[in-house]
Structure 1
Amino acid sequence: MKLPWNKDAPDAGGDQTDATAGAEVLDDAAPRRTPGKGRPTPSRRQAENRRRGPVAPAPMTRKEARSRRKETAPVLSKEEKREASTKRRSAAADRRERMMAGEEKYLPVREKGEVKRYTRSLVDSRRYVSTLFIPVALVVMVYMFIVIKDPLLSSLAMPILLVFVAIMVIEGLLVGRSINRKVQARFPGTTEAGFRLGWYAFMRSTQLRRMRIPRPQVKPGDAV
């Protein structure tokens, strides 16, 4: 406390008050730590699972899966069901038509890729004896078991089929080698050439043109 007659003496109380105020300012400026929750913060997936509730076990049989779909499916009137069925058939027909036209997006995995497209064009640009195997086999089997009554003529049917199979094997080897050679020249460094590509070309050559998927994009004799 400063006395009136002692002007030069420091005010002890004032200094103490100033020191206390300064300490309070320092305390306010110091960062305050929030006490922890005592548990880890849940992830976003855990939080969503808690909101959704327990997940039902997977169905064990097809019947159970169908019954579960019926329970969760919305109730539709006959008109809505007919309209939905029409849309599904239309969408399926559109996808099939695009697949048959050779659109890459709608092709099966086995048919996708530039190498496969080029292989199909090479096969479709030629005619093969192997293409006739299925019709010839059907005709021979019908005549062997139904039409032909003479056992001698009937016994000749199997050798004919065996000769045809031998021709197919030889033609398949030649087709596979030719296709692989042309593919490697067109796509150097490709990893798709080999036995699988040759087998793919051979199997396509044994199919009738109208049964090939996708349908041929070139005609026999066209340059590829």
Structure 2
Amino acid sequence: MPWQRSTDDADAIETAVDESPSPEMTRKSAYTESKGRPTPKRREAERKRGPVAPPPQNRSEARARRKELRSTMSKEDRAQARAKQRDLRNEMRERRLAGDEEYLLPKDKGPVRRYARDLVDARRNFAGLFTPVALVFIVLVYGLPKLSGLVSIALLVFVLLVVADSVYLGRMVNRKVRERFPESTDGGFRLGWYAAARGLQMRRLRVPKPQVSHGEAG
């Protein structure tokens, strides 16, 4: 009869049901098998590695930690650590000499301080002769005791000239910095002293190294 299914149709339906994937097989193909435990959080993982020692509070504590660390290292490891530290110090020194902002001391950082250094380095400062000339005067005082009075007077005059040149340099730097950076709070006596101290140094000994030539406009 039309409303009755034949035996062949019933067998086909049962075969299709048997061959369809089971829920368990579908879940395995769609999902990765669980590890059986929850993934540890970051804090739990860090806690398992052990507590992290706080940074040293002073130099003596840092020195004690370095000594304790060296006691657990072999001779070859200590040599490699010293070589690595030496290379790191040399690299930091080279970058500081080159004026790399990241490696400069706090007193040298910032566009204002960089501009002040350029002003000092572009000028032939009389104060820069202080160190070599003072050494010459000292030698003359001890080498020519009969002329020590005249040498002392000449040294005093030279020191007064150095002071006058340093004062002029500090004021000049402050004036030009106010013109270039009108909103900057870095100025006054501190900036003038910074410029004068750099002017007192011999050009080849200045840190960072001069980035401008003599006579270059600031």
TM-score computed with the length of structure 1 as normaliser: 0.68
Tell whether the 8 Å contact from 2:116 to 2:195 is kept in structure 1 after alignment: yes
The answer on 1:191 being equivalent to 2:182 is no
Corresponding residue of 2:8? none
Quick one: structure 1 residues 104 and 69, their matched pair in 2 at CA, closer, same or farther if it must change by over 3 Å?
closer
Corresponding residue of 1:33? none
Q: Aligned AA for 2:183?
A: G
SS of the residue corresponding to residue 155 of structure 1 reads helix
Of 162, 168, 181, 2:162 maps to 168
SS of the residue corresponding to residue 156 of structure 1 reads helix
The answer on 1:209 being equivalent to 2:191 is no
Quick one: structure 1 residues 177 and 68, their matched pair in 2 at CA, closer, same or farther if it must change by over 3 Å?
closer
2 CA distance for matches of 1:70 and 1:140?
47
Corresponding residue of 1:41? none
Tell me the CA shift for residue 70 of structure 1: 3.5
Indicate the structure (1 or 2) with the bigger Cα radius of gyration: 1
Q: Aligned AA for 1:178?
A: M
Number of residue equivalences: 169
1:61-111 Cα offsets, whole Å, 9 max, x none, are 94x875565345562222221111111000000000000000000000010
Corresponding residue of 1:87? 84
The answer on 1:77 being equivalent to 2:74 is yes
Corresponding residue of 2:144? 148
1:25-84 Cα offsets, whole Å, 9 max, x none, are xxxxxxxxxxxxxxxxxxx9xxx8xx86xx9xx99994x875565345562222221111
Matches within 5 A, 1:40-55: none
2 CA distance for matches of 1:203 and 1:65?
32
Corresponding residue of 1:139? 136
Q: Aligned AA for 1:108?
A: L
Quick one: structure 1 residues 192 and 157, their matched pair in 2 at CA, closer, same or farther if it must change by over 3 Å?
same
Q: What percentage of aligned pairs have identical amino acids?
A: 47
Tell me the CA shift for residue 132 of structure 1: 0.5
Q: Aligned AA for 1:167?
A: L
Tell me the CA shift for residue 148 of structure 1: 1.0
Tell me the CA shift for residue 199 of structure 1: 1.1
Corresponding residue of 2:6? none
1 CA distance for matches of 2:65 and 2:200?
44
Quick one: structure 1 residues 148 and 101, their matched pair in 2 at CA, closer, same or farther if it must change by over 3 Å?
same
5+ residue gaps in structure 2? Answer: 1-42
1 CA distance for matches of 2:192 and 2:149?
34
Of 101, 105, 108, 2:102 maps to 105
